[in-house]
Amino acid sequence: MPYLLNSGSGPLAGWPLALAHRGGEPGPENTELALRRAVELGFRYIEIDLRTTADGVLVLFHDAVLDRATGSTGTISSMTWDELAQVTVRGSDGTECSLLRFEDALQLFPDTHFNVDLKEDAAVEPFCAAVERFGAHDRVLAASFDHARRRRTRRLMGPRTASSADRRLAWLLVLLGPFGRAARLFRGVREIDCVQVPARHRRLRVVRPAFVRRCHRAGLQVHVWTVNDPEEMTRLLDMGVDGLVTDNVEALADVMRTRGHWPQSAAGAPSP
């Protein structure tokens, strides 16, 4: 899969991937400022969330409502892009930045790969149209916790665009794997390229060595979210996971650097 640069023969071949969650903290999440900082730090992969405005524009935003991340109120779906263009997102460091359209993110960061969480059904068609318009099939992975939404995206995009398992498929792999059914289950699901799961779910440790081995036998990469502790990052990388998603971008960059896997973006590479 071209999206997964660690699976090919290029400079990231065999490397675990580092993914900045919403661009990483402490800046304003899902904004140009956050994305630019992550790229300059050395990240090639950024996790983003997409929602749709009242006039059909895709914007990077996690919540359905504006309140938590901005000083404004209201829902994304009830406002036009012209209205939302006046809204600013606030980071924990006090910085502010305007909302960002998906098409602008694709153009501003042409070498960046986006792990796209489609937060609502209305985002599916505009997302597929944007990927087609910009020829970005190799730079996006379509993700959604919702099974029907992920399948619909896959039907529209076809096999050129990477996809991760939705919540239902991921839990089937976790729960059925110990009984020897996981490989048979996923052998027929050729539309899945990776499994993205938390390291733990409540008291259950999801990512164990046996789980990683089962996924690899089924031809699936394992990406773990959202890992912010350096010791946990190291433990999971030693286990053989293929990617880590983090808010703590500085810490993950340091951990990857000590293992010789940094930087991963051309923009973050040191000058000769």
252 vs 248: CA distance, rounded Å? 6
147 annotated active-site = no
What is 170-229 written as a DSSP string? HHHHHHHGGGT-HHHHHHT-TT--EEEEESEETTEE---HHHHHHHHHTT-EEEEE----
Residues in contact with 84: Cβ distance below 8 Å, sequence separation at least 6, in sequence order: 53, 59, 76, 99
Q: Which residues pair with 17 in a beta bridge?
A: 243
Backbone φ, ψ for residue 224 (5° rounding): -115, 135
The token pair that represents 256 in the structure block: 């990857």
104 vs 95: CA distance, rounded Å? 20
Helix 230-239 and helix 249-258: axis angle, to 10°?
50
Which residue in the list 21, 113, 223, 261 is annotated as catalytic? 21
62 annotated active-site = yes
Check whether the bond before 263 is cis (ω within 30° of 0).
yes
Query: Looking at the annotation, which residues are catalytic?
Result: 21, 62
